[in-house]
Amino acid sequence: MEFEPKNIIVTGGCGFIGSNFVRHVVDNHPEVHVTVLDKLTYAGNPENIAGLPADRVELVVGDICDEDLLDRIVPGHDAIVHYAAESHNDNSIADPGPFLRTNVEGTFRLLEACRRFGVRLHHVSTDEVYGDLALDDPARFTEETPYRPSSPYSSTKASSDMLVRAWARTFGVRATISNCSNNYGPYQHVEKFIPRQITNLIDGARPKLYGDGLNVRDWIHTEDHSSAVWAILTQGRIGETYLIGADGERSNIDVLRAILEAFGRGPDDFDWVRDRPGHDRRYAIDPSKLRRELGWEPAHTDFAEGLAETVAWYREHEAWWRPAKAATEYHYGSIECYISLRD
Ligand code: NAD
Ligand code: TDX
């Protein structure tokens, strides 16, 4: 029988993907009230959920590691949908500490609260827990692929997945896990690949491509991620893991050249920069289980169209991204060594 939550907590609901899920719920499920629990780190922005009806969405500013706070707000909710995380690989290489605290300890605190109050959990994770694939490997990741994380970020997400599995089996916490591929769309922080290149071009700066640019990511529009999480929350089998992807494999250089074209710039009008240490080569998701068992289908199947809409959104929403841009590029300046094609 379908699970019909009425009161849910969305952790990290002021971030890129969590805020999309909050808007998805408000737009499509009028019977559901959402409590957003968000610490408002550099990646959290209340503007991402601004304008939503106050009787549908409440923002609690706080830390998922704060046990007393969880004791106060979790009772009375039917489910927690857990997005809160430190999410950027480059940051995890520069300073892993916050990733251990939020991604591992934070998930532990939420699991303990779910156990105390008998609340359902959906844990949002990443395909990066499976490590990477060779460019010519015919395989894609499935729910049975062994865990082999490469970065401090993905190792902490893998750890959090393991905690969820153990709490489900040992303590009977009613939990599901999803591992999704790379998201794109509006409201993504300018530290991430696609928004970074778009906003560099708006600023008249050159995009930055890591390594040889042949790394492959499997892109999914964030709205399709949200619809998949809702399907798993309400119809998924307790204790199960579902992979979320939309058959969107693209090399970084192809994505970058599509962005350059949208700005009328030449295909080589970018800087090659030193590669990310431990850089995963390729991610690819086999979403058959999700499609077969829950009947989920992505709505955004035309990547070129989704990318064009995303470029347009950043052009029209400079006031949203401008405050974070200079500090983000300053931070990158300290970790990258630029090698220009023109030199
Ligand atoms: P994001 O960095 O944009 O947002 C993270 C949010 O969590 C922010 O609002 C931040 O303020 C909040 N947060 C961080 N630490 C917190 C804490 N201790 N307590 C409460 N709130 C805290 O991240 P995102 O890209 O939206 O990713 C959301 C989730 O989806 C993450 O769990 C990530 O691992 C997962 N995921 C992301 C992608 C992707 O492509 N971005 C793909 C698959 C899975
Ligand atoms: O300036 C850049 N140049 C570049 O070539 C940046 C920021 C990135 N890249 C490359 C690195 C990756 O191969 O682009 C690719 C995408 O990079 P990110 O946006 O940093 O994403 P990635 O490391 O693939 O991880 C993302 O997808 C999985 C999210 O950040 C994670 O939270 C999610 O789990």
Ligand nearest to the CA of 217: 2
Q: How far is the CA of 253 from the centre of ligand 2 (A)?
A: 12
CA contacts within 13 A on the Cβ side of 291: 12
Q: How many domains does the chain have?
A: 1
Assess contact for 228 and 81: CB atoms under 8 A. no
Q: Which atom of ligand 1 is nearest to the CA of 17?
A: 26
Q: How far is the CA of 177 from the centre of ligand 2 (A)?
A: 22
- Report yes or no on 223 lying in a domain: yes
- Report yes or no on 334 lying in a domain: no
- Residue 143 tokens, joined: 């729910």
Distance of alpha carbon 64 from alpha carbon 62, whole angstroms: 7
Q: How far is the CA of 343 from the centre of ligand 1 (A)?
A: 38
Q: Tell me what the mean pLDDT of segment 234-247 comes to.
A: 98
Residue 219 amino acid letter: W
Q: Which atom of ligand 2 is nearest to the CA of 157?
A: 34
- Report yes or no on 234 lying in a domain: yes
Over residues 85-131, the pLDDT tens digits come to 999 999 999 999 999 999 999 999 999 999 999 999 999 999 999 99
- Report yes or no on 159 lying in a domain: yes
Q: How far is the CA of 268 from the centre of ligand 2 (A)?
A: 20
Q: Kindly state if the Cβ of 87 falls inside 6 Å of ligand 1.
A: yes
* Annotation says 240 is catalytic: no
> Domain containing 294: what range?
7-189+219-250+280-302
Quick one: three-class SS letters along 213-279?
Answer: CCCEEECEEHHHHHHHHHHHHHHCCCCCEEEECCCCEEEHHHHHHHHHHHCCCCCCCCEEECCCCCC
- Report yes or no on 322 lying in a domain: no
- Report yes or no on 284 lying in a domain: yes
CATH of the domain at 54: 3.40.50.720
- Residue recorded with tokens 């190792």: 155
Strand order in the sheet with 79-82: 57-61, 33-38, 7-11, 79-82, 120-126, 175-180, 241-244
Give the pLDDT score at 1: 75
Catalytic one of 63, 86, 112, 127: 127
- Report yes or no on 181 lying in a domain: yes
Give the pLDDT score at 342: 38
Note the residue count of the chain.
Answer: 343
Put simply, whether the predicted model's pTM sits higher than 0.95 gets the answer yes
Give the pLDDT score at 337: 52
Distance of alpha carbon 329 from alpha carbon 116, whole angstroms: 43
Q: Is the pLDDT of residue 151 over 90?
A: yes
Do β-strands 216-218 and 241-244 pair in parallel, antiparallel, or remain unpaired?
A: unpaired
- Report yes or no on 141 lying in a domain: yes
**Helix, strand, or coil here: 115?**
helix
Catalytic one of 86, 112, 128, 223: 128
